[in-house]
Amino acid sequence: MSEEIWHENIYMTEFGGPSDINKSAYDGKVLDYQDIFFALPLRLPEDKRWIEVEYKGKTVEGLVNDIGPHNIKDKDYVLGEARPLSEEQYRTKIKAQNGHIPRNPAGLDCSPAAMDALGVKGPIDTRSVKGVRWRFKDQEVA
Give residue limits of the domains in the chain. 7-141
CA torsion, points 62, 63, 69, 73, in degrees to nearest 10?
140
CB-based contacts of 2: which residues, under 8 Å, 6+ apart? 52, 135, 136, 137, 138
Instruction: Indicate the average pLDDT of the chain.
Output: 92
The per-residue pLDDT for 85 is 98
Instruction: Check whether 139 has a pLDDT greater than 70.
Output: no
Q: What is the per-residue pLDDT across 70-99, written as a single tens digit (0 to 9) for each?
A: 999 999 999 999 999 999 999 999 999 999
Instruction: Check whether 20 has a pLDDT greater than 90.
Output: no
**How far from 101 is each of 34, 89, 108, 114, CA to CA, in Å?**
29, 7, 16, 26
Return the DSSP state at 93: T
The per-residue pLDDT for 3 is 57
16-39: average pLDDT? 88
Banded model confidence at residue 142, pLDDT cuts 50, 70, 90 = very low
Banded model confidence at residue 1, pLDDT cuts 50, 70, 90 = very low
Q: Give the burial class of 3: count Cβ atoms within 10 A of its Cβ; 0-12 exposed, 13-18 middle, 19 or more buried.
A: exposed
Residues counted in the chain = 142
What architecture is the 7-141 domain classified under in CATH? Answer: Beta Barrel (2.40)
The per-residue pLDDT for 141 is 38
The per-residue pLDDT for 62 is 96
Strand 58-67 relative to strand 37-40: parallel, antiparallel, unpaired?
parallel
Q: Give the burial class of 125: count Cβ atoms within 10 A of its Cβ; 0-12 exposed, 13-18 middle, 19 or more buried.
A: middle
